[in-house]
Amino acid sequence: MTERLVVEPDLDFIREVGILGGEDLKKCYQCATCSVVCPISPQNKPFPRKEMIAASWGLKERLVQSADPWLCHNCGDCNTRCPRQAKPGDVLAAIRARAVEEYAAPRALARAMNTPAMLPVLLLVPAVYLVVMGFLMEKIFGARFLNFSPEGAIVHAKMVSTWLVDVVMLSAAAFAVAVFARGVSRFLGDIHRNALAEGKTAKEAIDSAGFLQALLRTIPVILRHAKFNECTENRARAVSHMLVLLSFIGLFIVTSIFFVAIYVFQQHGPYSQLNPVKWLANVSGVALIVGSILLIRQRLAKPDQKSVYKDWLLLGLVLGLGVTGMGAQLTRLAGWAGVSYAVYFIHLMLVWFTFAYLPFSKLAHLVYRTVAMAYAEYAERR
């Protein structure tokens, strides 16, 4: 006797996919063109056709607990060639956004990141946090850490002390790491159970050493943007995307070096423009601005690629980080004290915004896609 299988669609999930950019899902008539034309889809249970089926049926667990939506780099090949304009790439992007929400804690914060009306509140939080922490540190240590009317030469640390900046930013980073640690642990366990159930791997348990080796093999692939370069429709996006990625890496190196210079060697800024580390900072800042502008132009030039709030929020944030960072320096060199201090404070707000909200925004793909690609390498899905 044939076994009966009862499927209960999650209608709320289907609606969420539509809100997050996958509203053309129902146009799909399962021709499998998307899986055929995708240059990076694995031969073993390729995507995105099966994801389109599962999304149509509202099978949330099968999608948000899978590595496959993260293996997609949203290059647009499937969108362009879909005969029904169902835009599978946009559906997978919506699934990824829903997965970020699923593994974030508190989940309400992830929902807020996808709600335009909440942006003023989310931006106000770092401003209030800076002021409150400055007041508390002054009460505890008896010294002034925040001064909105500094006098004399323009030194940003006169307005917001280095100690206050580091306390505020490190606490935001620690919060993000804690959220990611919990989320990645759950995500990795879920995608392994999902892979076992769907026959994508025969390994009963994840071998930590084997997974770490796979991760080390995956990182060079990400740094080279090898998967982006296999795409045809949006191959140019690889250059702008790499500019942004390398600029973040460069700025992280600069911040680490100056952190050591301040707290180990007691060498406080502003630093000379002839300092080689300052060269790296300036080059990285310019690359961040140029890369973000190119990404915005490329997205505007692709009307067949759905752009929703979460996409523009990330692009605006990246551009804002670059413009305020370079703007604070240039206005300081120009002697525009009031403007420079104001721009610097906004820059600090955006940096905190990036750190603290990282696990809840589209930028979380830096972590989840890396984990998914490493797992695919570990499970030998070619």
Q: Please, which residues bridge with residue 160 across strands? A: 146
Is the C-alpha dihedral spanning 239, 244, 248, 253 positive or negative? positive
Question: How much is the pLDDT for 232?
Answer: 80
Tokens of 131: 């002021």
Q: Residues 85-97: pLDDT tens digits?
A: 999 999 999 999 9
CA distance linking residue 142 with residue 59, whole number of Å: 57
Q: How long is the chain? A: 382
Q: Which residues lie closer than 8 Å to 154 by C-beta, 6 or more apart?
A: 332, 335, 337, 340, 341
Tokens of 254: 């600069």
Query: How many CB atoms are closer than 10 A to CB 174?
Result: 12
Question: How much is the pLDDT for 291?
Answer: 96
Question: How much is the pLDDT for 304?
Answer: 65
Eight-class DSSP state of 145: -
Residue type, 214: A
Parts of the chain with a pLDDT under 70:
1-3, 5, 202, 303-304, 382
> What is this structure's pTM?
0.91
Sorted by where each starts, the structural domains of the chain and their CATH numbers stand as 11-104 (1.10.1060.10), 109-378 (no CATH)
Cis peptide upstream of residue 106 (ω within 30 degrees of 0): yes
CA distance linking residue 351 with residue 143, whole number of Å: 24
**Residue 65, Ramachandran bin (φ over 0: left; ψ between -120 and 50: alpha; else beta):** alpha
